[in-house]
Amino acid sequence: MKSSEKKAPAKPKKKIVEKKVSHAKTPTSTLMQAARGMRDILPNEQAYWVHMDKSFQKALQEFGFRRIQVPIVEYASIYEKSVGGSTDIVEKEMYVFQSRGGDRLALRPEMTAGIVRAFIQHGMHVWAKPLKFFSQGPVFRYERPQEGRYREHYQANFDVFGEVDPVLDAQLIQMASRILSSLGLKKVQFQINSIGCKQCRKDYNHLLVSYFKSKSTKLCADCKRRLSSNPLRIFDCKEEKCTHVRFGAPQSLDHLCKDCHDHFKHLLEYLDELEVSYQINPFLVRGLDYYTRTVFEIWPVEEEGKRVSLGGGGRYDDLVAFMGGEATPAIGFGLGMDRIVAQMKKENTKIFKEPTPKVFLAQLGDLAKKKSLKLFSQLERSGVLVAESFGRGSLRAQLRQASKIEADIALILGQKEALDETIIVKDMASGSQEIVAQDKLPEIIKKLLKNNVVVKHA
Ligand code: HAM
């Protein structure tokens, strides 16, 4: 044996020290609770969400939008670069983590960055313009949970690529307005501003810095820092003392270049033509850095001062190029679905109700159960909505279920009826019952219910 092949002396085995995992933040008593700021949306809430989906679907068809889905997880740098390093979202609210493979990822804190990434990745700049995209889903922000502010919330986003004309801005705002009124919301208002383009922003930023510098003792620590990194962000600060200071600040509308000025002027003219009401808010900026020119938010009328928006958006003409794609103007907005539901409740709007079955199909015995399966789908196909609990054997339990769901009619299929191709039709209110041929059933039921509860599936 060569010396190099000699076995090295065995190293003393490393003691494996088990790391103690601290459960301090998730005591057993809270393990069965949703994580802080996250919530369940239970079945009894769903009618509002269905109603919203229907309104969105209608608007998508009317305005020619197509659906797109982008991942909930992206490289964190995508959000950092697009949303902006000095925004609250990136500085304080992103859920960033490292994957097992070592990638630095983030749960999406908004959807636009992912859509722009997809636009660039799939070479959409050569697709026929304008491109109109609709996306929907959960968004995550590590915010201080409170009413209407969650760590997971749902957004519906409408984005248009490839048009710089302000007519698009007006059309998009009109679309948002139509959606809100189709949801029955009346106590909402559009707040609109123009924050100009890169060009006009340069001079405006200087003015802002000198104004806020003169008031710097009255600003919070974050805003003092923002003075040099991104003075426009001071308008977005939620601290009360900063709110007071900003009212005396120079306004972007007074410092727009000619193109931006004309763009905004035309937008307002189009909105007037469309009879969309709005309020010009010279202090409105958005919590994300990518916007240029038009910005807007939808506020509940009664909560004007609280800055709880139901939705918001604006132009982001420079973002695609900034992220490395072909320069493409774009505009979009996001609706906060959780807050819209809350507003619908506040305004007591009428919502679409899922039809509930008024007929219950009960069965007794193996053959009857088999036949019931078929009968159930035959009835559904003929437009009769039927409830059942095929998993239960006892007739009494099934009829109890029929009463629970407030069915008007119970259909009972026993062994004998299954063989005879008949069925018992029982009026739940009076208890009276008759035996009828199965093939006459849809007709008989429709007559009995006087077409009140017979619902055709959409
Ligand atoms: P955003 O204003 O940050 O815009 O969010 C859109 C909407 O999501 C808000 O107006 C609000 O209704 C809702 N929202 C935001 N944070 C929360 C929260 N913590 N809890 C409940 N609801 C919340 C954007 O995210 C942009 N990406 C919208 C956009 C699309 N701009 C262009 N295209």
Each residue's pLDDT tens digit, 407-423 = 999 999 999 999 999 99
The reported pLDDT for the residue numbered 453 is 40
Among 309, 316, 337, the mutation site with the greatest number of ligand 1 atoms within 8 A of its Cβ is 309
For ligand 1, the distance from its centroid to the CA atom of residue 83, given in whole angstroms, is 12
Question: 261-264: long-range contacts at Cβ-Cβ below 8 A with a sequence spacing of 24 or more?
Answer: 263/166, 263/169, 263/194, 263/293, 263/294, 264/166, 264/194, 264/293, 264/294
Distance (Å, rounded) from C-alpha 253 to C-alpha 285? 12
1 vs 113, more confident: 113
Q: Is the pLDDT of residue 215 over 80?
A: yes
The reported pLDDT for the residue numbered 302 is 78
237 vs 288, more confident: 288
Q: 407: closest CA among 365, 352, 445, 364? A: 445
The reported pLDDT for the residue numbered 229 is 85
For ligand 1, the distance from its centroid to the CA atom of residue 394, given in whole angstroms, is 51
Mean predicted confidence (pLDDT) in 380-409: 92
The reported pLDDT for the residue numbered 29 is 61
Per-residue pLDDT tens over the stretch 166-186: 999 999 999 999 999 999 999
Among 93, 110, 291, the mutation site with the greatest number of ligand 1 atoms within 8 A of its Cβ is 110
What's the token pair of residue 314?
Answer: 């604006």
Mean predicted confidence (pLDDT) in 352-359: 85
Q: Is the pLDDT of residue 22 over 60?
A: no
% residues pLDDT > 90 (the chain): 77
The band of 447, judged by pLDDT with boundaries at 50, 70 and 90, is: confident
Which residue has its alpha carbon closest to ligand 1 atom 23?
A: 336
The reported pLDDT for the residue numbered 236 is 85
Distances (CA, A) of 325 to 78, 123, 437: 13, 8, 68
Among 163, 339, 340, 341, the mutation site with the greatest number of ligand 1 atoms within 8 A of its Cβ is 339
Question: 385-391: long-range contacts at Cβ-Cβ below 8 A with a sequence spacing of 24 or more?
Answer: 385/355, 385/356, 385/357, 385/358, 385/359, 385/453, 385/454, 385/455, 385/457, 386/357, 386/359, 386/360, 386/361, 386/411, 387/357, 387/359, 387/360, 387/361, 388/360, 388/361, 388/362, 388/363, 390/363
Q: Is the pLDDT of residue 310 over 70?
A: yes
For ligand 1, the distance from its centroid to the CA atom of residue 212, given in whole angstroms, is 27
Q: Is the pLDDT of residue 24 over 80?
A: no
Per-residue pLDDT tens over the stretch 59-116: 999 999 999 999 999 999 999 999 999 899 999 999 999 999 999 999 999 999 999 9
Ligand 1 lining (C-beta closer than 6 Å): 110-112, 141, 143, 148-150, 153, 155, 157, 159, 287-288, 309-313, 332-334, 336, 338-339
Mean pLDDT lowest among 254-258, 277-281, 388-392 = 388-392
Mean of the per-residue pLDDT values of the chain: 90
Looking from the CA of residue 331, the nearest atom of ligand 1 is 32
Mean pLDDT lowest among 18-22, 274-278, 372-376, 379-383 = 18-22
Mean pLDDT lowest among 72-81, 158-167, 348-357 = 348-357
Distance (Å, rounded) from C-alpha 352 to C-alpha 373? 29
Q: Is the pLDDT of residue 226 over 50?
A: yes
The reported pLDDT for the residue numbered 56 is 98
The reported pLDDT for the residue numbered 18 is 43
Given CA atoms 308, 350, 314, 78 in this order, what sign does their dihedral have? positive
The reported pLDDT for the residue numbered 400 is 94
